Amino acid sequence: MAGSTLGTIFKITTWGESHGRGIGVVIDGCPAGLPLTKEDIQIFLNRRKPGQSRYATPRKEDDSVEILSGTFEGKTTGTPISLMVANQNQRSGDYSEIAGFYRPGHADYTFHEKYGFRDYRGGGRSSGRETIGRVAAGAVAHKILGQLGISFTTYTKSIGPITISSFDKNAIWENPLYMPDMDAAKKAGEYLDECMKNKDSSGGVVECVVTGIPAGIGDPVFEKLDANLAKAILSIGAVKGFEIGDGFQAAKSLGSCNNDSFCQSTEKGIHKTTNHSGGVLGGISDGDSLIFRAAIKPTPSISSPQKTVNTSGENIEVSIKGRHDPVIVPRAVVVVESMAALTILDALLLNMTAKMEGICEFYKIR
């Protein structure tokens, strides 16, 4: 089947592989009348660009986005917005070697089994470059949500064994690992230096906090807000786990501790006094901040020797050449945020039809 389309109302379709002509996304269902320039999108793409620290690939990629359709006089028209980033740094020659075997931890083997052959250049469609389409579309979703008062704080919570122990929002942008704790960032940097020395790589955890979501977003049963978030986040390559609110910790907890009390006050109206739920009850937003985490595995491309099988079916030992990110977590931060924005926006648009009252008022019939 397909697999490259996401969303019901705000629907995106991504395309492109590491070494084709480019990477793109078509956004269908974007509301008309949103002011949109390519700079709005470029800012988000820049957050995932490689070459920004010594912990990320030194490849220079411009990743400059073009708006091919869907805007007129600086505003969205309601028709599909086609965005494209041309691939500039294509050196197919580099990949002749990996054509011959299945890299451990990569999708080489599974693509081959599914499709009968594979575009082996730079991982093809399973390359990290595939996320460009997600981030470009996420930037547009982000802008719409901003107009509705919804905002995101997304950061690296841990790298390998190093976890943040304090939270300073400003610190996020002051270290190349996007950690909200400068001490943890320093230790994580040293840990990554060690990984690189050992020709090894590290995983980590990304956390995302979303504020301003009104209560009532998400649908019961299969289209729960957190269920769709889980899908969106797990659909990012290298993500191996998702949790919302207390997550796996809730499994060890007691009901008396895990339940959040409701409280009424003049300033806040009805609200929860704690947020173990992470902002969702029964799959529907509860008016509190949405808080979730994504577990990201270590970069599978490592230069230390590994055992595998070649395409002739022989057991061999390989070392992945080239320089690779010892950790992809910092570059994944904006991808996680983008997937969350896309999911929340779609749920918000779908929610407009929940009540007869809202529908009648919208169509001004009483």
Q: Please, which of residues 186-245 interact with a copy of itself by CB under 8 A?
A: 195, 198, 200-205, 214-217, 219-224, 226-235, 237, 240-245
Interface residue with a copy of itself among 60, 263, 268, 322 (CB under 8 A) is: 263
**Subset of 329-348 contacting a copy of itself (CB under 8 A):** 348
- Identify the burial level of 147 via C-beta atoms within 10 angstroms of its C-beta, where 0-12 means exposed, 13-18 middle and 19 or more buried: exposed
Closest separation in Å from C-beta 327 to a copy of itself: 9
Report the candidate in 334, 349, 328 with the shortest Cα–Cα distance to residue 159. 328
Interface residue with a copy of itself among 46, 88, 166, 253 (CB under 8 A) is: 253
Interface residue with a copy of itself among 44, 48, 70, 122 (CB under 8 A) is: 70
Closest separation in Å from C-beta 135 to a copy of itself: 14
Closest separation in Å from C-beta 134 to a copy of itself: 9
**Subset of 17-56 contacting a copy of itself (CB under 8 A):** 17, 20-24, 26, 28-29, 31-34
**Subset of 274-293 contacting a copy of itself (CB under 8 A):** 277-278, 280-287
Instruction: Tell me, residue by residue from 106 to 145, as one string, x for binding to a copy of itself by CB under 8 A and - for no binding.
Output: xx-xxx-xxxxxxx-x--xxx---x-------------x-
Question: 310 with 297: CB under 8 angstroms?
Answer: no
Q: Which lies closer to a copy of itself via its Cβ, residue 170 or residue 264?
A: 264
- Identify the burial level of 142 via C-beta atoms within 10 angstroms of its C-beta, where 0-12 means exposed, 13-18 middle and 19 or more buried: buried
CA–CA gap between residue 280 and residue 218 (Å, rounded) = 9
232-237 long-range contacts, Cβ below 8 Å, gap at least 24? 232/6, 232/339, 232/340, 232/342, 232/343, 233/292, 233/294, 233/336, 233/339, 233/340, 235/6, 235/339, 236/131, 236/134, 236/294, 236/332, 236/335, 236/336, 236/339, 237/107, 237/126, 237/128, 237/130, 237/131
Q: Which lies closer to a copy of itself via its Cβ, residue 52 or residue 274?
A: 274
Interface residue with a copy of itself among 42, 52, 82, 153 (CB under 8 A) is: 82
CA–CA gap between residue 161 and residue 27 (Å, rounded) = 38
Q: Which lies closer to a copy of itself via its Cβ, residue 79 or residue 211?
A: 79
State the Cα torsion 184-187-189-193 to the nearest 10°: -160
Query: Looking at 46-54, 99-107, 168-176, 330-338, which segment touches a copy of itself (CB under 8 A)?
Result: 99-107
Cβ neighbours, 10 Å, residue 161: 10
Closest separation in Å from C-beta 51 to a copy of itself: 21
